[in-house]
């Protein structure tokens, strides 16, 4: 068999395996998220789900002049697959099988109320979770500080508007975007059910 034919077949096989592994991850468990009860100063954060990606949208906080900021989404992923857009075997296989370089993503939405956000992000699934306003503001500061601290290397996806910086966390199947978002929700006082392989998050319906 010619060497070039063998190489092409191996490349096709690697691509099939990479997408099979990602499909397996997508078919695995979704963790139930339960919002905290009895929140004194409530505000909604939003779990954003788009294809295989899970992120968290945090509400505006007043700036020093008292003007509200915009909603902002933070997300996590593999650097090659999520930030560089390498969806071939070279990016997908390592992202699933072993720890790789992680990326912290940030995207701002130019709206300042929940209804406008839902209209702006009609292309994704947004689910509200009611939490403490103080905790939401603290998490937003924490993630913004982490993003600002890594600004020496910023990549911008001009199609989606997401900006990426390197994360100090490694990405692989036990630590996916859903796992990191689950950790952020726990910081907000939510309960997140354990899952052996967490592919996504499911928010428990609120009591009427």
* CA-to-CA dists, residue 193 to 59, 153, 175, angstroms: 24, 34, 15
C-beta separation of 66 from 52 below 8 A = no
Q: Contact 131/189 with Cβ under 8 angstroms?
A: yes
Q: Which residues of 79-105 are buried (b: 16+ CB within 10 A; e: fewer)?
A: bbbbbeebbebebbbbbbeeebebbbb
Per-residue pLDDT, 91: 46
Alpha-carbon span 27 to 109, nearest angstrom: 30
Contact 174, 104 (CB under 8 A): no
Both structure tokens of 108: 């701002």
Identify the pLDDT of residue 54: 96
Task: Decide if 98 contacts 172 (C-beta within 8 A).
Answer: yes
Q: Which residues contact 161 (CB under 8 A, 6 or more apart)?
A: 107, 108
pLDDT in tens, the chain (208 residues): 444 454 444 344 444 444 444 444 444 588 999 999 999 999 999 999 998 899 999 999 876 555 567 999 999 999 988 888 776 545 454 555 668 889 999 999 999 899 999 999 999 999 999 999 999 999 999 999 999 998 778 888 878 889 999 999 999 888 999 999 999 999 999 999 998 888 899 999 976 6
- This prediction has a pTM of 0.81
d(CA 50, CA 4): 37
Q: Which two tokens stand for residue 20?
A: 């099979």
What is the model's pLDDT at position 207? 67
Question: What are the domain boundaries of the chain?
Answer: 3-203
Q: Report the pLDDT value the prediction gives residue 131, as an integer from 0 to 100.
A: 98
Alpha-carbon gap, residue 83 to 149, rounded angstroms: 17
Q: Residue 5: in which H helix or E strand, if any? A: helix 3-26
- Give the DSSP H/E element, type plus range, for residue 101: strand 100-109
- Give me the helix-helix angle, 3-26 and 89-97, nearest 10°: 50
**CA–CA separation, 60 vs 204, rounded Å?**
24
Neighbouring-strand partners of residue 56: 47, 74
Quote the pLDDT of residue 74: 98
Both tokens of 162, joined, read: 């997401």
């Amino acid at each position: 068999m010619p060497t070039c034919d063998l190489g092409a077949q191996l490349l096709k096989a690697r691509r099939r395996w990479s997408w099979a592994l990602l499909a397996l991850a997508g078919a695995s468990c979704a963790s139930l998220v339960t919002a905290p009860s009895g929140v004194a100063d409530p505000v909604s954060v939003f779990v954003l789900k788009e294809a295989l990606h899970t992120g968290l949208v945090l509400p505006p906080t007043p700036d020093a002049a008292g003007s509200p900021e915009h909603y902002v989404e933070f997300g996590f992923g593999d650097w090659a697959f999520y930030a560089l857009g390498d969806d071939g075997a070279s990016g997908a296989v390592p992202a699933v099988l072993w720890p790789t370089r992680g990326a912290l993503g940030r995207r701002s939405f130019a709206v300042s109320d929940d209804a406008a956000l839902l209209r702006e992000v009609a292309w994704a699934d947004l689910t509200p979770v009611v939490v403490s306003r103080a905790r939401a503001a603290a998490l937003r500061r924490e993630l913004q500080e982490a993003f600002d601290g890594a600004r020496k290397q910023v990549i911008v996806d001009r199609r989606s508007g997401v900006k990426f910086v390197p994360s100090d966390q490694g990405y692989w199947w036990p630590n996916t975007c859903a796992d990191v978002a689950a950790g952020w929700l726990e910081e907000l006082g939510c309960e997140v059910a354990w899952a052996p392989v967490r592919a996504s998050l499911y928010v428990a319906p609120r009591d009427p």
